Amino acid sequence: MRSLAIHPLSHPIKASVEVPGCISYTIRALTISAMTPGSVKISNPTKSDDSYAMVTILRTLGIAVEETENAFIVHGTIDDVEDKGYVLDVNISGRTARSVLALLTIVPGIKTLTCKEAFKKRPVGDLVDGLRQLGARIEYLERECYLPVKISSSKLVQGSAKMAGKLSSQYFSALMMIAPRVGEIEIEVIGEQSSKPFIDVTVATMKAFGVTVVNNNYHHYHIPAGEHYKNPKEYIVEADAIAATYFWSIAAITQSTLRVLHISPNSAQGDVAFVDILKRMGCTVTKNEKEKWIEVIGKKNLLATTVDMNATPDSVMSLAVVAAFAKGKTIINNIEHLKIKETDRLTATFNELQKIGIKATMTNDSLTIPGSKPHGGLITTYGDHRMAMSFAVSGTRIDNIIIKNPDVVSKAFPKFWETLINLGVAIEIFEKNNIVLIGMRGSGKTTVAKVLSEKLQKRVIDLDEHFVKKNGMSISAFVEKYGWDTFRQKEKEIVDDVSLHNNCIIATGGGVVINEEHMLALKKHGICIYLKTPVEKLLQRMMINPGDRPALTNKQNLAEELQEIFNKRKSLYEGFADITVLTDRETPEEIAENIIEQLQ
């Protein structure tokens, strides 16, 4: 497993930044081009996992798509699709999934639309219902309202459809885009339309291809009869406003001056309004419509704010990180739909803020973030590119921010890390090939380490044994002579040494987790396994084998001491763990097999 450490900027910087083309515009342009006669050149597209998922599906359907250095050229149309069976994989791309699902209802053949396991948690039921109202024949193959599905219709009938607006604007965009190939379509929004700016992006893209959508205040959409896509020959994708938020955020928290190029202040992309939030927080913002750029200058003392981000959920994480450095409590409201993105971004953002020392609170549709002094932490990305990029921002200001699985940025911004480096941000990439066992004394770390060593052919390093060997006395004797503070200082030397080793199994002392610096060093090259054991079981084992274990508290008996220590360390073990394994009902052999299975 790869990880990445970010080292903070030594001083404020002044620079211009180019971000990729907007992924939302790219997917829409590819979808519409496949329904437009003649060859369409899509210039400055995002070349990422999401866009390649869309291109691959079009090619699988027999629609010719050429790729050049800075363009996709769609030569074919859905009229080229043959009447046969197709299996089409959207990977984990939500935009592709919703766009393609609608498109497949109006092409020949029996089409199976599938996805990677992670996307099977994201609903498509409202879109399927809307398409069925227009005559689509769609069958769920596993779970109701989720991919995979089988689509057997090849045309729809004009008419009206109703869909709930709460979950995703992508359902509405998908229906709108195929409408010119169907006839007159009316779409009614039940409840409130979420992510309204993405509707604007769809309407703007369709307009560029000659089709008018009547938007009745986001409650009702009408595509009149007789509308047909016209070939613009070239469609130029503007810069991605969501990608821009990461760099505007860096400017905000580091007092830097960063200008994002090729983006219109009047863009239909709702996330250009992110700079207006930063302005309220104290930043200086300059917009240039003529030259198409937006600049942010950060200030030393950022102020908290309260904001409704229902329209721009993808930049919530960026604001959350900026808010961590602001004075006061920032409240982000109306973001319930954040929970059905690539991951539950509401909970994920809350969790990672805790790791950097920000005691945020969360409700079903809001985050409250008290600005403070964030510190380093190991950031879990949940397979979500936006979690990786937004929390990377914090690393430009504070040290010891480590991003797990940084390659997830390939989903929408493959050159993100390269762009940071070009700005002068120091980045260190390393492989995690150590296994680090943590847990209470008596949880079986040493025994399990030896079993894993035999199975995986990795060398074992036991931190307690290493300490004894290096200092020439037992831990009990050392603590009795020098005290716990000196022991922890010596333990740091051991950890610093051991953390530089590779391809090892490291059995730690029970208290190593109380020092975050120790754990960050060990986790830099290691996957952390928490051997979770109930206190009753720990007590039972220690009564049988007392071992060399000095007292940690002034409690009268071992049971009380164990309970107090467990209560203090439980959250630390859980917070640092990549994998948690219960050890009270399994043999060391079974525990080792469980660990190996989860690692795989």
Q: Which residues are catalytic?
A: 314
Close Cβ partners of 183 (under 8 Å, ≥ 6 residues apart): 157, 158, 225
**Contact of 551 with 510, CB cutoff 8 Å:** no
CA angle centred on 500, ends 495 and 502, rounded to 5° = 120
Pairing of strands 185-190, 159-164: parallel
Burial class (CB in 10 A: 0-12, 13-18, 19+), 172: buried
Distances (CA, A) of 502 to 10, 96, 264, 464, 505: 30, 40, 48, 19, 9
CA angle centred on 156, ends 154 and 162, rounded to 5° = 135
Give the residue among 506, 532, 508, 539 at the shortest CA–CA distance from 591.
532
CA–CA distance, 467 with 483 (Å, rounded to integer): 15
Close Cβ partners of 158 (under 8 Å, ≥ 6 residues apart): 134, 182, 183, 184, 185, 225
**Contact of 135 with 183, CB cutoff 8 Å:** no
**Contact of 550 with 482, CB cutoff 8 Å:** no
CA–CA distance, 453 with 589 (Å, rounded to integer): 11
> H or E segment at 510?
none
CA–CA distance, 386 with 92 (Å, rounded to integer): 14
CA–CA distance, 275 with 283 (Å, rounded to integer): 8
**Contact of 128 with 113, CB cutoff 8 Å:** no
